């Protein structure tokens, strides 16, 4: 077989609207001794991609990581089949099914030695510092791929590893959800929210999802929420949380919105000694919490920045066992990835993730 040297891909050369995403045929990097060439069957469009494209991340700096470059090929997630392997590659061979590692770790970093591989420095993550998955073919070091379990279709693989592995760390490591705990999730209709609902329930928790759009309530219940609170009317939302928790408040809360009003709402419905995990930020607005609030309620306020290797491996096991699944909101071929960005930015009733099918 002739090894491809070019790929159809979508790249970003300047910040702006979806029209700045340029499709074309681009040269692939040469296959290094430990690289594998993968035919990419599925990936995703995320809100991170939208922020990158719009230039919102131009001044966003992660400690120990390089800045976000242009040009860029967006897309953090990928799932496909190995086409060729470098002479020194030992992990994979042509024909193997693989999934792109979304949270790589530097094994030699001080952070990994501390058990915090997700905070590793000097990494080039695809779709961040390195070229992402908006392409038909990808060349990466074999250490940037994991084996895809048998029976898992490419679509599910292409949208699962990023949200579920991050959510696994939220549920198991940061919140430590136990059977019977009430877990409130804002932004529950997105990929991270879906994943957190499923994993919290697997841990024995009782999930309360919030939404500003009443039309999403039925779908959120279908996706696993034990209760849905519509926050359009704050007074009613407080009553609904009280009803769902027997008047005690929630043990844990995860915010995927960064919305100050929702953060204030979270603080006001927390149980004494509860834990809040923040995953999103909105500009430079201060948190609507005072030190007195944290002390009075003995709240635990935590952040999270990605998952670790163990989280990814656990998620792949759950995926292979069919115990987790992502709702697909829409599918787009590579040539229409700009339309996918527009949908994600403008559709208020979107529930689920958007799949990119490079060969669709």
List per-block mean pLDDT (blocks of 10 residues) for the chain, which spans 360 residues.
92 98 98 98 97 92 90 98 98 98 94 93 93 98 97 97 98 97 95 96 98 93 95 95 97 95 95 95 78 95 94 98 97 98 94 96
Judge whether 6-148+327-357 and 166-303 match in fold.
yes
Domains of the chain: which residue ranges?
6-148+327-357, 166-303
Running DSSP on this structure, what letter comes out for residue 190?
Answer: S
The pLDDT value recorded for residue 349 is 87
CA dist 201 and 26 (Å) reads 44
The pLDDT score that the predictor gives to residue 282 is: 64
CATH of domain 6-148+327-357: 3.90.180.10
| CATH architecture group of domain 166-303 | Alpha-Beta Complex (3.90)
The arrangement of strands across the sheet holding 270-278 comes to: 227-230, 206-211, 182-186, 250-255, 270-278, 300-303
Reading the block at residue 262, the tokens are: 């929702």
Q: Are 267 and 289 in contact (CB under 8 A)?
A: yes
């Amino acid at each position: 077989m002739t090894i491809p040297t070019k790929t159809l891909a979508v790249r970003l050369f300047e910040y702006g609207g979806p029209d700045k995403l340029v499709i074309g045929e681009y040269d692939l990097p040469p296959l290094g001794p430990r690289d594998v060439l993968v035919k990419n069957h599925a990936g995703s469009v995320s809100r991170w991609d939208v922020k990158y494209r719009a230039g919102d991340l131009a001044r966003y700096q992660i400690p120990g990581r390089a800045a976000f470059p242009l040009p860029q090929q967006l897309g953090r997630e990928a799932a496909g089949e190995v086409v060729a392997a470098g002479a020194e590659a030992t992990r994979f061979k042509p024909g193997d099914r693989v999934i792109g590692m979304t949270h790589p770790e530097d094994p030699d970093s001080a952070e990994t030695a501390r058990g915090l591989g997700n905070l590793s420095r000097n990494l080039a993550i695809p779709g961040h510092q390195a070229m992402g998955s908006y392409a038909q073919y990808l060349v990466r070091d074999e250490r940037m791929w994991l084996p895809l379990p048998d029976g898992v279709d490419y679509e599910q693989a292409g949208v699962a590893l990023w949200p579920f592995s991050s959510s696994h760390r939220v549920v198991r490591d940061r919140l430590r959800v136990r059977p019977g705990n009430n877990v409130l999730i804002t932004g529950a209709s997105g990929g991270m929210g879906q994943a957190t609902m499923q994993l919290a329930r697997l841990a024995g928790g009782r999930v309360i999802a919030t939404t500003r759009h009443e039309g999403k309530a039925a779908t959120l219940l279908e996706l696993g929420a034990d209760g849905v609170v519509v926050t359009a009317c704050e007074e009613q939302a407080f009553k609904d949380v009280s009803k769902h928790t027997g008047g005690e408040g929630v043990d844990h809360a995860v915010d995927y919105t960064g919305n100050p009003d929702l953060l204030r709402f979270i603080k006001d419905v927390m149980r004494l000694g509860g834990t809040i995990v923040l995953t999103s930020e909105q500009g430079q607005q201060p948190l609507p919490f005072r030190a007195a609030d944290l002390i009075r309620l003995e709240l635990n306020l935590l952040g999270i920045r990605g998952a670790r290797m163990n989280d990814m491996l656990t998620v792949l096991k759950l995926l292979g066992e069919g115990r987790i699944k992502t709702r697909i909101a829409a599918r787009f071929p590579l040539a229409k990835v700009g339309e996918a960005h527009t949908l994600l930015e403008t559709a208020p009733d979107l529930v689920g993730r958007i799949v990119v099918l490079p060969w669709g």
